[in-house]
Structure 1
Amino acid sequence: MIKRCPQHGFFRGERCECGSTGQLLLDETKTEQLGRLVAGGLRHFPGDLGLEMDSRGWVDLAKLGEVVKSRHRWASKELVIALVESDPKQRYEIHNDKVRARYGHSVDVELDHAENELPKLYYGASEEEADRILEIGLKSASQRYVHLSTTPQKAWHVATFRTGNPKIIQVDAANAQKEGVKMMTVNEDIVISEMIPSRFLEILATKDILKN
């Protein structure tokens, strides 16, 4: 659910960090409905919703507000803003009356986030997937960019949603970037990347994954 605290603004859950129960804006069902529609418009099919997206992934916030209102009578531009600002995964951003997804695109965009500064990054995969990745390199089958984790533990956590016993691939990000592979920081958990050649990849030992 999404609520609004009079002091701290929009938040998810029962209480704001200050303890306020806040004003209910969207229940869980409506939050999910709005989230799916916004994700579709900003990541996957903007044209189908009548949205014009520029090369950096930005669309007009007011127009998106009109689109969600046309699909759900209870929706509005304000609720889109509430969804964005309260999102714990920081999936979206608003700037100068424009809104975009920070990552997760299947449409062709050229994002302009800050360059990654971490020397090592991580990707979780099944054993079969890992073997193939080490042969042909790491690229996304369905999204514009590969999504990498900033720690092996985070990569492990993400991968467990897809496979029971993931292998963690360590990416030599520093040298890959020196050779022209574009990598950008989305947030403290995620870095997105162009295709990464196999020479920059290796399987991380289990003992290293389990370190703090």
Structure 2
Amino acid sequence: MSKKSNIKCTSKDLEKISRFLSYILRHKPEAIGITLDSNGWVGVDVLIRQAKKHGMQISQDLITEVVRTNDKKRFTLSEDNLKIRAAQGHSTKQVNIAYNEKTPPEYLYHGTATHFLDSIFQQGLIAGERHYVHISIDEKTAVAVGKRHGKPIVLRIKALAMFQQGFKFYLADNGVWLTNNVPSQFLEVI
């Protein structure tokens, strides 16, 4: 916990809060009656108040601790700590973060499960319900992502070649690369 906090909570409690924040800030803010601005921000005080009305007791200290300790760095606090947002992964139509375009490295990686390969090589990587395809800078992270969906497999993306052909890439606050789609000709199994 942060040095200022006297609140005791377990890693299981922090995980529960993190899952709640992911659900609310990425997918269903209306579930607790909040509205995110177009860049995904909501006032921490509003989030705390509305969460309490819906049975979730959180505080500024707990939110700060979840942001600080989340291994995937899913959340960002504003510089003044008055607002919070999910770094990426949105499916809600309330959010349309204006990420800055970046030049990607030569290769990026996407973890998936083997049972998705046929579909991926037919249609490429698509965002589905999310706003962007999420891509990793390293193979290790991609393997971890792939394990969540079944037997993992890693796809190497010829990101720089895509960029040179006009595809746009963005880098989220938490280091996850984003793009609208990845055509199959830029993919290879490694």
Q: TM-score, normalised by structure 2?
A: 0.83
Counterpart pick for 2:27 among 26, 35, 44: 44
Identity of paired residues, percent? 26
Q: Which has the higher contact order (CA 8 A, sep 6+)?
A: 2
Which segments of 5 or more consecutive residues in structure 2 lack a partner in the other structure? none
Number of equivalent positions: 186
Counterpart pick for 2:92 among 107, 126, 129: 107
Alpha-carbon shift at residue 189 of structure 1 (Å): 5.6
What is the Cα-based RMSD across aligned positions, in Å? 2.5
User: Which residue does 2:77 correspond to in 1?
Assistant: 94
User: Which residue does 1:5 correspond to in 2?
Assistant: 3
Alpha-carbon shift at residue 159 of structure 1 (Å): 1.1
Instruction: Check whether the contact 2:74–2:174 (CA below 8 A) recurs between aligned residues.
Output: no
Alpha-carbon shift at residue 171 of structure 1 (Å): 0.9
Instruction: Using the TM superposition, name which of 68-77 and 83-92 deviates more.
Output: 68-77
Which structure's CA Rg is the greater one? Answer: 1
Structure 1 residue 135 corresponds to structure 2 residue 122? yes
Pair 51,176 (structure 1): closer, same or farther in 2 beyond 3 Å: same
Deviations 1:131-160 (A, max 9, x none): 321221111333222111112232123212
Deviations 1:52-92 (A, max 9, x none): 11222112222112122333474223322222123222110
Instruction: Check whether the contact 1:68–1:76 (CA below 8 A) recurs between aligned residues.
Output: no
Q: Which amino acid aligns with 2:18?
A: G
SS of the aligned residue for 2:181 comes to: coil
SS of the aligned residue for 2:111 comes to: strand
Alpha-carbon shift at residue 188 of structure 1 (Å): 7.0
Instruction: Check whether the contact 2:76–2:173 (CA below 8 A) recurs between aligned residues.
Output: no
Pair 130,116 (structure 1): closer, same or farther in 2 beyond 3 Å: farther
Instruction: Check whether the contact 1:69–1:76 (CA below 8 A) recurs between aligned residues.
Output: no
Counterpart pick for 1:174 among 160, 166, 183: 160
Counterpart pick for 1:32 among 3, 9, 15: 15
User: Which residue does 1:75 correspond to in 2?
Assistant: 58
SS of the aligned residue for 1:99 comes to: strand
Which segments of 5 or more consecutive residues in structure 1 lack a partner in the other structure? 11-22, 205-212
Q: Which amino acid aligns with 2:68?
A: E
Q: TM-score, normalised by structure 1?
A: 0.75
User: Which residue does 1:163 correspond to in 2?
Assistant: 150
